[in-house]
């Protein structure tokens, strides 16, 4: 190489490498020697393949053999074993006769750039592999990045969502503004803002998400957007809502149970007086008709107290084997008979049976049908579906794995607003002008007390779908209808204890009308004295009816022990208008032979006394 050109080549910041026609080193400048760590003597005559990966070398030489210039980057091995990335420009040069004389290679060190590229790739790859959704938006709220986690969570692929407004993920047109000045101030001070809200997937499904917002800044530290991390917390929120709802039900249930107890006492007195007046031979037909209507009104009021007791968890399910299919058909026929809506049912004959309280489950189904009917004042279709359903270990439903009956009731009504979905089972929540807000709360309590589960799905103007899961039984049996028993008259001495004067009066009158001799007491202490005196006089009582609770006095629980000490064979019946007490669930273990729930009429009282005197076993 001529002296002037050699000086230029030696001083350039680029590495210069000249190969002969056999790809052996003819010349290297100082810069290349520095880059690779070899001296000129160490590189002279050595093949290019000794400094570069063999597969890369074959690719390079193949291009050169085709007389093509090459511009690409390669990974070289330094003398110390480290890798070096060089941008390589190779051009073949020829002798005057046209034969290949050699190759001129110019290289530039791009190791730092490659490491930065690798780092950026790794960072992008890490973000993409994060399971949670990671999204960035600019200051105007438009999406600028979207990782695989976001695609999994929302259902949108990056190419379809990039550049779209973040508002697309919100269920309402007036969402919380994540780039508001207030939130930006929080980000500036704390560097983090967290929120929990409902978002929408591509499918339209809504879910709860936890959002973490961080500021996105450029190289100069200027805020250019927001990084949003989102994860699905629907299961946690559902559990929280369940706990809150249960807490509300328990606290309000105490009040409801007390009201139902007092109301049942009043109904017992009213029903008893109606029965006594109806049994009067001198009563005129017109008066009998009015009394019959009054009794019907009391029975409707009794259903209301039953609903209050169910709501308060006071009336526990009295389970027996029942056909859920027949129950659904009966409810649909009765509840929608005079409605302007049509019903479409699919209830298979092979539907499993269940151990349920028929009256409570029918009450729950009736509420759901009424709710669906009222959602369609202009008419429509109510769909009623039932199916056998198995829940496995992998199910996300909060139910024990096993067999269930799945009941779906869907309407075509006005639907439920997203902000109301979490409140529909709350006590006293209603959006209707005429409604107590107890209907769906009662349904929720009934299903929960049966170890089942209920869900609701709805969109505004898209109808609502309620889905109920009830534990199924593999048993099957005939449906038995209760027979209405006639009045049964008898003889015997009855000790009646109740703290309510009106209960004592009307129940005493009914018992006397049935042929019994009655002695009344207003609390347990008085009842114990009267029972002791009767035993000592040789005229013992044949049966005792005790009120469960006596405020400020001895109730049935505190009284029965003393009565059993006086007479171990004492026949004692417990009576109450409230059932949230262990004595009611286990009355026989507590020493009682029967339970008389309030309110009761003369027919029920007659049947109880007949059972007590005819059957030594416990009855209820």
Instruction: Encode pLDDT of 571-582 as tens digits.
Output: 999 998 766 567
In the sheet where 381-391 sits, what is the strand order? 342-346, 381-391, 402-410, 464-471, 453-458
d(CA 595, CA 574): 5
Instruction: Encode pLDDT of 244-285 as tens digits.
Output: 666 666 666 666 666 667 777 778 888 888 877 777 756 677
Judged by average pLDDT, the poorest of 79-93, 398-412, 482-496 is 482-496
Percent of the chain clearing pLDDT 70 (strictly above): 84
Please, which residues bridge with residue 342 across strands?
A: 381
pLDDT of residue 386: 95
All domains of the chain, ordered by start, with CATH? 3-111 (3.30.450.20), 130-232 (3.30.450.20), 238-311 (1.10.287), 320-471 (3.30.565.10), 493-614 (3.40.50.2300)
On whether the CB atoms of residues 389 and 402 are closer than 8 A, the answer is no
Residues 525-545 as b/e (b if ≥16 CB within 10 A, e otherwise) read: bbbbebbeebeeeeeebbbbb
pLDDT of residue 479: 47
Secondary structure element (H or E) that encloses residue 467, with its range: strand 464-471
Q: Is the pLDDT of residue 618 over 50?
A: no
Q: Is the pLDDT of residue 515 over 60?
A: yes
pLDDT of residue 589: 84
Averaged pLDDT of the chain = 82
d(CA 399, CA 138): 43
Q: Is the pLDDT of residue 309 over 80?
A: no
Q: Is the pLDDT of residue 315 over 80?
A: no
The whole-model pTM stands at 0.45
Instruction: Encode pLDDT of 96-135 as tens digits.
Output: 777 778 888 888 888 888 878 777 777 767 777 788 899 9
pLDDT of residue 244: 67
Instruction: Encode pLDDT of 449-504 as tens digits.
Output: 899 999 999 888 889 999 999 999 877 655 444 455 678 888 899 999 998 888 89
pLDDT of residue 617: 45
On whether the CB atoms of residues 312 and 447 are closer than 8 A, the answer is no
pLDDT of residue 173: 52
Residues 50-87 as b/e (b if ≥16 CB within 10 A, e otherwise) read: ebbeeebbeebbeebeeeeebeeebebeeeeeeebbbb
């Amino acid at each position: 190489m001529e002296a002037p050109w050699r000086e230029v080549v030696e001083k350039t910041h680029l590495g210069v490498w000249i190969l002969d026609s056999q790809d052996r080193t003819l010349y290297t400048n100082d810069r290349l020697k520095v880059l690779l760590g070899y001296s000129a003597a160490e590189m002279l005559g050595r093949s290019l393949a000794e400094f570069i990966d063999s597969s890369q070398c074959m690719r390079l030489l193949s291009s050169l053999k085709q007389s093509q210039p090459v511009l690409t980057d390669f990974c070289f091995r330094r003398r110390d074993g480290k890798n070096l990335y060089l941008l390589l420009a190779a051009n073949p040069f020829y002798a005057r006769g046209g034969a290949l004389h050699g190759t001129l290679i110019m290289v530039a060190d791009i190791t730092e750039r490659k490491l930065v590229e690798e780092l950026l790739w790794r960072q992008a790859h890490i973000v993409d592999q994060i399971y949670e959704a990671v999204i960035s938006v600019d200051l105007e709220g438009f999406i600028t990045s979207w990782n695989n986690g976001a695609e999994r969570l929302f259902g949108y692929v990056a190419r379809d969502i990039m550049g779209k407004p973040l508002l697309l993920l919100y269920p309402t047109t007036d969402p919380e503004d994540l780039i508001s000045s207030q939130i930006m101030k929080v980000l500036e001070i704390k560097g983090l803002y967290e929120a929990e809200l409902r978002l929408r997937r591509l499918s339209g499904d809504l879910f709860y998400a936890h959002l973490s917002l961080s500021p996105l800044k450029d190289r100069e530290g200027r805020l250019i957007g927001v990084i949003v991390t989102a994860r699905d917390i629907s299961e946690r929120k559902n559990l929280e809502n369940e706990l809150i709802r249960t807490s509300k039900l328990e606290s309000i249930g105490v009040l409801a149970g007390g009201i139902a107890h007092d109301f049942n006492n009043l109904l017992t007195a009213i029903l008893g007086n109606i029965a006594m007046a109806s049994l009067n031979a001198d009563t005129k037909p017109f008066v009998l008709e009015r009394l019959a209507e009054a009794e019907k009104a009391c029975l409707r009021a009794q259903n209301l107290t039953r609903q209050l007791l169910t709501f308060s968890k006071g009336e526990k399910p009295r389970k027996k084997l029942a056909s859920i299919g027949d129950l659904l058909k009966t409810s649909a026929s009765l509840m929608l008979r005079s409605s302007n809506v049509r019903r479409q049912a699919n209830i298979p004959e092979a539907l499993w049976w269940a151990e349920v309280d028929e009256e409570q489950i029918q009450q729950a189904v009736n509420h759901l049908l009424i709710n669906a009917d009222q959602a369609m004042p202009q008419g429509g279709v109510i769909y009623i579906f039932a199916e056998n359903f198995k829940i496995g270990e992998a199910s996300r439903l909060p139910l024990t794995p096993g067999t269930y009956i799945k009941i779906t009731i869907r309407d075509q009504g006005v639907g439920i607003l997203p902000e109301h979905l979490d409140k529909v089972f709350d006590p006293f929540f209603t959006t209707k002008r005429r409604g107590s807000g107890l209907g769906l709360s009662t349904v929720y309590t009934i299903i929960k007390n049966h170890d089942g589960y209920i869900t609701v799905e709805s969109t505004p103007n898209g109808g609502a779908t309620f889905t109920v899961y009830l534990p199924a039984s593999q048993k099957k049996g005939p449906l038995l209808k209760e027979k209405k028993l006639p009045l049964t008259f008898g003889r015997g001495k009855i000790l009646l204890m109740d703290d309510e004067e009106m209960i004592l009066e009307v129940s005493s009158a009914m018992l006397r009308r049935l042929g019994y001799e009655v002695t009344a007491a207003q609390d347990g202490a008085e009842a114990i004295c009267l029972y002791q005196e009767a035993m000592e006089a040789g005229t013992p009582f044949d049966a005792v009816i005790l009120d469960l609770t006596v405020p400020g006095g001895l109730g049935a629980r505190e009284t029965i022990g003393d009565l059993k000490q006086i007479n171990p064979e004492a026949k004692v019946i417990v009576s109450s208008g409230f059932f949230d007490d262990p004595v009611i669930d286990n009355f026989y273990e507590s020493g009682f032979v029967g339970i008389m729930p309030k309110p009761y009429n003369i027919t029920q009282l007659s049947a109880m006394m007949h059972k007590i005197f005819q059957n030594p076993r416990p009855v209820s």
